[in-house]
A and B are shown apart, each in its own frame.
Chain A
Amino acid sequence: MEYIGEHLWIGKIGNVFVILSFAFALLASISYFFASKDNDETPAWKRLARIAFRIHSISVIGIVVTLFIMLYNHYFEFEYVWHHSNKEMPLRYILSCFWEGQEGSFLLWTFWHVTLGLILQQTSRTFEAPVMATISLVQVFLASMLSGVFILGHRIGSNPFTVLLREHPDFSNIPLFSNPNYLEKLDGRGLNPLLQNYWMTIHPPVLFLGFALTVIPFAYAIAGLWKKQYTEWIKPALPWAFFGVMILGTGVLMGGAWAYEALSFGGFWAWDPVENASLVPWLTLVGVAHVMLINRNSNQSLFITFFLTIITFILILYSTFLTRSGILGESSVHAFTDLGMSGQLLIYLLFFLLLGIILLIINRKHFPKQKEEAIWSREFWIFVGAVVLLISSFQIIFYTSMPVWNKLFHLNKAPAKDVVNFYNSWQLPFAFIILLLIAVSQFFKYKQTDVKIFYKKIAASFFISLALTLFIAFALNFSKPLYSLLLFSAVFAVTANADYTIRVLKGKVKKAGASIAHIGFAFILLGALISTSKKDVISQNTSGKSIESLGGQMSNNDNILLTQGDTLPMGRYYVTYSGKRFEGINVNFDVDYFIRNNDGTFKKEFSLAPLVQTNPRMGNVAEPDTRHFLTFDVYTHVTYADLESLKEKANETTDEYAPAKNYTMKKGDTIFSSNAIIILDSLTTAIDKEKYAIGKEDIAAIANFSVLDITKKYQAKPVYVIHENRIQPIASKIDELGLQFLFWKINPANATIEISLQEKKENIRDFIVMQAMIFPYINILWIGCIVMIIGTMLAIWERIKRSKRELFQ
Chain B
Amino acid sequence: MKKVHIIGIIIIAVAIGAILTTLNNTSTYANFSEAAQSPGSEYHVVGKYNKDKESIYDPQVNANLFTFYMIDNQGTEKKVILNKNKPQDFERSEQIVLIGKMQGEEFIASDILMKCPSKYNDGKPQETADNK
A and B co-occur in one complex: yes
Residues of A within 8 A of B (CB): 82-83, 87, 164, 171, 174, 176-177, 184-187, 189, 192, 330, 337, 372-373, 375, 380, 383-384, 387, 390-391, 394-395, 398-399, 402, 412-417, 422, 426, 541, 543, 545, 547, 550-552, 554-561, 563, 612, 617-620, 622, 639-641, 643, 767, 769
- Does A82 lie within 8 Å of B125, measured CB to CB? yes
The 4 closest A-B pairs by CB, nearest first: A414-B44, A395-B18, A554-B110, A413-B26
> Taking the complex as formed, is B53 at the interface, i.e. its CB lies under 8 A from any CB of chain A?
no
A505 to chain B, nearest CB (A): 29
Q: With A413-B28, A619-B89 known to touch, is A375 a contact of B15 (CB < 8 Å)?
A: no
- Which residues of the other chain, B, contact A184 by a CB distance below 8 angstroms? 131
- Does B60 lie within 8 Å of A554, measured CB to CB? no
> Taking the complex as formed, is B37 at the interface, i.e. its CB lies under 8 A from any CB of chain A?
no
- Does A618 lie within 8 Å of B110, measured CB to CB? no
| Known A545-B61, A552-B81, A556-B64; 11 more pairs at CB < 8 Å | A184-B131, A372-B2, A391-B14, A413-B29, A541-B62, A551-B81, A554-B110, A558-B64, A561-B63, A619-B119, A620-B89
- Does B88 lie within 8 Å of A416, measured CB to CB? no
- Which residues of the other chain, B, contact A176 by a CB distance below 8 angstroms? 125-127
B: number of interface residues (CB 8 Å): 62
B98 to chain A, nearest CB (A): 11
- Which residues of the other chain, A, contact B116 by a CB distance below 8 angstroms? 619
Interface string of B13-24 (1 = CB under 8 A from A): 011001101110
B92 to chain A, nearest CB (A): 6
Complex CA distance for A157 and B96, rounded to whole angstroms: 31
- Does A554 lie within 8 Å of B100, measured CB to CB? yes
- Does B63 lie within 8 Å of A559, measured CB to CB? yes
- Does B128 lie within 8 Å of A337, measured CB to CB? no
- Does A330 lie within 8 Å of B97, measured CB to CB? yes
- Which residues of the other chain, B, contact A643 by a CB distance below 8 angstroms? 88
- Does A171 lie within 8 Å of B85, measured CB to CB? no
CB-nearest residue of chain A relative to B58? Answer: A561
Within 8 A of A (CB), among B57-95: 57, 59-65, 81, 83-89, 92
Q: With A185-B131, A395-B18, A550-B65 known to touch, is A414 a contact of B26 (CB < 8 Å)?
A: yes
- Does A640 lie within 8 Å of B124, measured CB to CB? no
- Does A619 lie within 8 Å of B92, measured CB to CB? yes
SS class of chain B's interface: helix, strand, loop or mixed? mixed
Within 8 A of A (CB), among B1-48: 2-4, 7, 11, 14-15, 18-19, 21-23, 25-30, 42-44, 46
A379 to chain B, nearest CB (A): 12
- Which residues of the other chain, A, contact B29 by a CB distance below 8 angstroms? 412-414
- Does B88 lie within 8 Å of A640, measured CB to CB? yes
- Does B59 lie within 8 Å of A767, measured CB to CB? yes
Complex CA distance for A617 and B120, rounded to whole angstroms: 10
- Does B44 lie within 8 Å of A547, measured CB to CB? no
Complex CA distance for A620 and B120, rounded to whole angstroms: 13
Complex CA distance for A558 and B116, rounded to whole angstroms: 24
- Which residues of the other chain, A, contact B131 by a CB distance below 8 angstroms? 184-185
- Does A612 lie within 8 Å of B15, measured CB to CB? no
Q: With A554-B100, A555-B83, A640-B88 known to touch, is A394 a contact of B18 (CB < 8 Å)?
A: yes
Complex CA distance for A556 and B100, rounded to whole angstroms: 13
Complex CA distance for A499 and B86, rounded to whole angstroms: 53
- Does A557 lie within 8 Å of B25, measured CB to CB? no
- Does A640 lie within 8 Å of B26, measured CB to CB? no
- Which residues of the other chain, B, contact A561 by a CB distance below 8 angstroms? 59-60, 63
Complex CA distance for A412 and B27, rounded to whole angstroms: 9
Please pick, from A177, A391, A551, A558, the residue contacting B15 in the complex, using a CB distance under 8 A: A391
- Does B26 lie within 8 Å of A415, measured CB to CB? yes
- Does A552 lie within 8 Å of B108, measured CB to CB? yes
Quick one: which of A373, A552, A554 has the most chain B CB within 10 A? A554
Complex CA distance for A554 and B102, rounded to whole angstroms: 13
A299 to chain B, nearest CB (A): 15
Q: With A187-B128, A617-B118 known to touch, is A552 a contact of B22 (CB < 8 Å)?
A: no
- Does B84 lie within 8 Å of A551, measured CB to CB? no
Q: With A618-B118, A640-B86, A769-B85 known to touch, is A414 a contact of B62 (CB < 8 Å)?
A: no
- Does B63 lie within 8 Å of A769, measured CB to CB? yes
Complex CA distance for A561 and B63, rounded to whole angstroms: 6
- Which residues of the other chain, A, contact B11 by a CB distance below 8 angstroms? 387, 390-391
16 contacts between A and B (CB under 8 A): A176-B125, A330-B46, A412-B28, A413-B23, A413-B29, A414-B44, A415-B27, A417-B111, A541-B64, A554-B110, A559-B63, A561-B59, A617-B118, A619-B92, A619-B119, A640-B88
- Which residues of the other chain, A, contact B56 by a CB distance below 8 angstroms? none
CB-nearest residue of chain B relative to A429? Answer: B14
CB-nearest residue of chain A relative to B27? Answer: A414
- Does B59 lie within 8 Å of A380, measured CB to CB? no
Complex CA distance for A563 and B59, rounded to whole angstroms: 10
Complex CA distance for A413 and B44, rounded to whole angstroms: 9
- Which residues of the other chain, A, contact B128 by a CB distance below 8 angstroms? 87, 185-187
A561 to chain B, nearest CB (A): 4
A715 to chain B, nearest CB (A): 31
Complex CA distance for A557 and B84, rounded to whole angstroms: 7
CB-nearest residue of chain A relative to B43? Answer: A414
Q: With A384-B7, A619-B119 known to touch, is A556 a contact of B110 (CB < 8 Å)?
A: yes
- Does B59 lie within 8 Å of A171, measured CB to CB? no
Q: With A417-B42, A554-B110, A556-B64 known to touch, is A380 a contact of B88 (CB < 8 Å)?
A: no
Complex CA distance for A361 and B18, rounded to whole angstroms: 26
Complex CA distance for A543 and B125, rounded to whole angstroms: 46
